[in-house]
């Protein structure tokens, strides 16, 4: 291992360690998880909420609109039976007030704030609602003070036990004019229970193709709102449950489509999906054949042609949930319930509350697993399972090491491919195996076979760890002190020097009976622990 690679690993370890918040392993965390409820038939709302696996604790349905005079309009979606059912389940119902992007109506509402607030207070009391979420969008910077005054009046008029929250635009560039300039973030936070940061629509209908909410856009939006004097416990991170679609001929430029419909489109038309690692967002391409049409969303029919879709999936949403931990935010909000992919609620609440996997809670390796997942070096075996006691395969080991050391092929070697007969191009880890073989950290069991799906052994892992530490001048496995003495490890064993080195470094240890068990299989939990120890040593 040359110094350049080791230094890359050292820098990466320091950055990732510093970004890990102290509350990562907090017990009993119960963050706000609010969700807007807009689409669908109100008769289906109870079942829609039940499908969230009890993850959502604040529901914000579309009950309050504003008419052309700036007065309150109760929508036909309000059903007392739904409110009562949610209360029985211990959930709060906090409807949102919307101008549906109509600036003139929003401005009239602010002018008519006394009457509007009084009517809102009466409606909340009449229907036994738990507060209000104000979602008045597309105002101007000239409306900023009136907007704040409206929220202040709501807080004064509503009983203390009733919530007041405000949906605010993401403003990573700190724009002062136009829509973004209409929010006085600091004072809005003073008069509300929390601000729902709409950290999405980085790309929009009419824009060039791009992610709805790249990880950089989301994190910069969080940093900016906190820099405005808003306390972290007043920020709820908005997460999109939708994507946007662009057609190659320009007839569709960023039309919104739900994540579940995008999943169906990709499956139906055998679309291709790549995960853009820079943006931490999935990007898909689909082709609809001649003569076919399919309806998605409202008033959106797709026909023959090639389409590009940017959307959200399990991986991208988990990255956003990790930001909630990193900045210790109050929780999340989502637009909107019912648009999510089918498996979203299998993991959402776990990741929101720093639990991640159902099978690692109270497991001896829990903190090591969390550390590896937070660094992005290891992932689960399913949405909510890590399988800590399952044997680690050689392909999985190669993948983890490549991610940890951020290894790549040199530009002139990009076309390199291993000659292992058992690693075809179709194998999921083919690229990682190529890279780790190129760097000499892990090789095949023979010149022709890598055995990617065979379990990794303790002596094989000791060999990999030793190679990581080996340098041209020092830290070589040849320059060891007094070797560890294991009953089942003698100098004639091919892996002897590697086992001794890994043991002396404190990465590996033997068993109580004095053995090392060189050919024993490594579990996923043990791999997480070894990599965590390695990270700490190089930190």
Among all residues, which ones are annotated catalytic? Answer: 137
> Do 194 and 155 touch, CB atoms closer than 8 A?
no
Q: Is 129 helix (H, G, I), strand (E, B) or coil?
A: coil
Neighbouring residues of 136: CB distance < 8 A, sequence distance ≥ 6 = 66, 97, 98, 99, 106, 109, 110, 147
User: Residue 223: which of 174, 165, 178 has the closest Cα?
Assistant: 174
Neighbours of 403 (CB within 10 A): 18
Phi first, then psi, for residue 289 (nearest 5°) are: -70, 165
| CA-based max dimension of the chain | 89
Q: Environment class of residue 160 by beta-carbon count within 10 Å: exposed (0-12), middle (13-18) or buried (19+)?
A: exposed
Cis peptide before 411 (omega within 30 of 0): no
3-state secondary structure 406-470: CCCCCHHHCCCCCCCCCCCCCCCCHHHHHHHHHCCCCCCCCCCCCCCCCECEHHHHHHHHHHHHC
Altogether, the residues listed in the chain come to a count of 539
Q: What gap in Å lies between CA 236 and CA 352, rounded to an integer?
A: 11
> Do 197 and 170 touch, CB atoms closer than 8 A?
yes
Neighbouring residues of 159: CB distance < 8 A, sequence distance ≥ 6 = none
Q: What gap in Å lies between CA 232 and CA 330, rounded to an integer?
A: 7
Helix (H) or strand (E) holding 257: strand 253-258
> Do 398 and 405 touch, CB atoms closer than 8 A?
no
Q: What gap in Å lies between CA 290 and CA 303, rounded to an integer?
A: 8
Residue at token pair 């360690």? 17
User: Residue 466: which of 479, 484, 452 has the closest Cα?
Assistant: 479
Strands 194-198 and 305-310: unpaired
- Name the DSSP letter for residue 391: B
Which tokens is 151 given?
A: 């929220």
Cα-based angle 196, 318, 535 (whole degrees, multiple of 5): 125
Paired residues of 134 in beta bridges: 97, 166
């Amino acid at each position: 291992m040359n110094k350049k690679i080791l230094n890359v690993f050292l820098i990466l370890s320091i950055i990732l360690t510093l970004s890990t918040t102290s509350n990562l392993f907090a017990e009993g965390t119960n963050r706000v998880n609010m969700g807007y409820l807009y689409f669908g038939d109100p008769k289906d709302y109870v079942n829609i909420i039940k499908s969230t696996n009890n993850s959502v604790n604040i529901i914000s349905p579309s009950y309050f609109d504003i008419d052309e005079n700036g007065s309150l309009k109760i929508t036909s979606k309000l059903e007392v039976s739904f409110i009562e059912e949610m209360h029985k389940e211990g959930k709060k119902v906090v409807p949102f007030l919307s101008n549906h992007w109509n600036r003139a109506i929003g401005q009239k509402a602010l002018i008519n704030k006394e009457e509007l607030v009084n009517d809102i207070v009466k409606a909340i009391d009449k229907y036994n609602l738990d507060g209000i979420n104000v979602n008045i969008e597309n105002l101007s910077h000239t409306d900023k003070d009136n907007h704040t005054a409206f929220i202040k009046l709501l807080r004064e008029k509503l009983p203390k036990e009733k919530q007041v929250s405000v949906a605010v635009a993401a403003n990573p560039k700190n724009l002062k004019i136009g829509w973004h300039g209409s929010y006085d973030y600091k004072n809005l936070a003073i008069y509300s229970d929390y601000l729902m940061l709409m950290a999405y629509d980085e790309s929009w209908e009419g824009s060039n193709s791009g992610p709805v909410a790249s990880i950089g856009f989301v994190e910069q939006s969080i940093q900016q709102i906190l820099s405005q004097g808003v306390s972290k416990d007043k920020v709820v991170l908005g997460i999109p449950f939708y994507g946007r679609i662009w057609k190659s001929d320009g007839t569709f430029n960023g039309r919104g489509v739900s994540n579940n419909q995008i999943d169906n489109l990709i499956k139906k038309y055998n679309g291709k999906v790549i995960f853009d690692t820079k943006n931490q967002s999935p990007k898909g391409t689909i082709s609809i054949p001649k003569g076919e049409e399919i309806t998605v969303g409202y008033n959106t029919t797709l026909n023959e042609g090639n389409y590009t879709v940017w959307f959200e999936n399990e991986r991208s949403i988990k990255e956003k949930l990790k930001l909630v931990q990193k900045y210790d935010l109050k929780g999340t909000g989502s637009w909107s319930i019912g648009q999510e992919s089918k498996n979203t609620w299998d993991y959402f609440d776990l990741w929101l509350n720093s639990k991640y996997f159902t099978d690692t809670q109270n497991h001896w390796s829990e903190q090591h697993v969390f550390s590896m997942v937070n660094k992005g070096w290891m992932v689960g075996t399913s949405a909510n399972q890590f399988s800590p006691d399952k044997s680690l395969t050689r392909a999985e080991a190669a993948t983890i090491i490549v991610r940890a050391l951020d290894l790549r092929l040199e530009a002139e070697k990009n076309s390199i491919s291993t000659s292992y007969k058992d690693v075809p191009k179709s194998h999921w880890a083919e690229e990682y195996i190529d890279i780790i073989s190129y760097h000499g950290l892990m090789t095949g069991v023979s010149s022709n076979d890598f055995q990617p799906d065979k379990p990794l052994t303790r002596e094989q892992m000791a060999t990999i760890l030793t190679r990581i530490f080996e340098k041209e001048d020092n830290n070589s496995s040849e320059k060891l002190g007094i070797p560890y003495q294991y009953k089942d490890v003698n100098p004639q064993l091919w892996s002897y020097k590697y086992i001794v080195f890994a043991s002396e470094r404190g990465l590996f240890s033997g068993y109580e009976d004095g053995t090392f068990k060189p050919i024993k299989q490594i579990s996923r939990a043990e791999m997480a622990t070894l990599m965590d120890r390695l990270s700490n040593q190089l930190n």
